[in-house]
Every structure is written in structure tokens, then in C-alpha cells.
Amino acid sequence: MVVDPLIVLLLLAAALMHASWNALLKADRSDRLATFGVIMTTGTVMGLVALPFLPTIEHGAWRFLAISVIVHVAYYTFLLKAYSYGDLSHTYPIARGLGPLLVALVSGRLIGEHLRVQDMLGVLLLSVSLVTLALPLKGLQSKTGGRHGMATLFAVMTGFTIAAYIIADGFGVRAAGPDMAHRLAYIAWLCVLEGPWLLVLAMVLRPDTILAHLRRHWWKGMIGGVIANTGYGIAIYALVLGPMAHVAALRETSVLFGALMGTLLLGEPFGRRRVIAAVVIVAGLALMNGPQII
């Protein structure tokens, strides 16, 4: 199925937003858990402001909303554990690359969205290329320490939760109601319910330092929160307009944007292999959104 060009552009914008707030979080060397908590709590505030102007979502959407909140909490847990064991450049692409591949694998049986052969090939190319961005630039170096293995394990678990919340939110936003207002209400409720938990955890773990951190760095989390929640809101709404596997794959191009930001803004090397991976990503997207050729 070919996705409307407007949806593609919106999802690429959402991917850029996702990479932007992750880069902001990575650059924070003071207290990432607290900043992450502010990012998510900003979404809660945004949702609370929007809800009075939106209708109540349909009854059938609430179960998917509950599942999504639970899965998102697991996602944050696995993501933070992955970051505690390994580098962002290693764990992030593995998690983000695995998600759309898993969604594509269950699209027919679980979701009822039957993809073309070239769609599956495009998702596979994109996912493998995203994971390739995680490999060391000097080649795959052998690591005997357990931390590398644990980082990979938690990155893979994060990828499974990404696929799970994409599917839950896809079903949920489609069941929320017949028009845009109901779908926006689903997004607002998700922001409200999933938002505060990381900040609560930060307050429990570091009660003596959290307030001082928030006084100095609250603005970073707030900016990141506006970007993060707007970007994911776009992605959820796109789940109504296109196949879940396509939406997931397009959004995870955030990994490529993240690599480019690391090179252009943070001075990190990009390398010939990453250039090749970027070309393959574009080829995968072209297969998924081009005319029937296979």
C-alpha cells in the first residue's frame, strides 16, 4: 500500500522531532532521569490543557489506552536500563530498528493489514540499516564484557515494547471515535496518563537533589516535552491514515536524523558505512511507498 505523500512528510517531521528530543536528552549531563521525567510530565500538562475542549473517547478505546500506558512504562524501564549498560549510539538504533520489523511481521495475522512483498522487503532493508548505524565505525569489535550483552538485551526488549505500543495505539486511536476530535482526545489522554511516572521515580530516587535540578534545568525538559509529545501525537494520528508497519518504519527514520545530528552538531564521525546505511534506508522507504514492482 502506498502512503499519501502528506503522511510521509508528517512522519518524517515526527521522526526529526523524536531525534531532536533524544539529542537534547543525550546532551544533558546533569540528571537525565529527571530531565526525561520533565519531558514526559510536560506531555501531561499539554494533555490536561487540551482535554476540556475535546469529546470523550469511545468505550472500546480505553482498553487499548490502558495497555499502551502499561507498555510505555515498560518501554521507559527497558530504555533506561539499556542506556545504563551501553552507549546511546549502540542501544538506540537496535531498539528503533527492531520495532517496525516486528510490526510488519504481525501485520497480516494480528492487525489485518496485508503488506506487499516489496513492503516487507522495504521494512527489512530499513530495519537492518537502522541497526547497522549502531555498529562501531571501525567494524564490529568483539566485546567480552557482560555490559555489552546486557545493553543489547535491554535494547531488544525495548524494541519489543516499541512494537507493542505502536500496535496498541494504532487500535486505540482507530477505536477512539469517528472524527479528528476523538482521535486527538485519545492522544491527549495518553499524554496525561503516561506522563508523570518518570518524574515521580526521580523524586523517589533522589529527593534531596531533584528540586535543585528542576530549578536549573526545567526549561530543557519543557522544550523537549513539547517536541516529543507533538511528534508522537503526529505519529499516533498517522496510524489512522496508513498501515501500522509503514507508520512505524517511517517514524524510526529518527535514527538517521539522530546520526546526522551527532555528526553536524556534536562532531561525531559518520563514516562510509553509515553513508551506505543511509542510502539503503532511502531505498527501503522508496520500495514501501512506490508503485508495485514485485
pLDDT digits (tens, 9 = 90+) for 110-134: 888 877 888 888 888 888 887 776 6
Domain boundaries, the chain: 5-288
Residue 144 pLDDT: 43
Residue 248 has pLDDT above 50, yes or no: yes
Give the percent of the chain with pLDDT over 90. Answer: 34
Give the percent of the chain with pLDDT over 70. Answer: 88
pLDDT digits (tens, 9 = 90+) for 137-166: 554 444 445 677 888 889 899 999 999 999
CA distances from 56 to 65, 175, 198 (A): 13, 12, 26
User: Among candidates 162, 280, 207, which has minimal Cα distance to 34?
Assistant: 207
- Of these ranges, 8-17, 62-71, 138-147, the one predicted with the greatest mean pLDDT is 62-71
- The predicted model gives 260-289 an average pLDDT of 73
Supply the pTM of this predicted model.
0.85
Q: How many CB atoms lie within 10 A of CB 128?
A: 15
Residue 142 pLDDT: 46
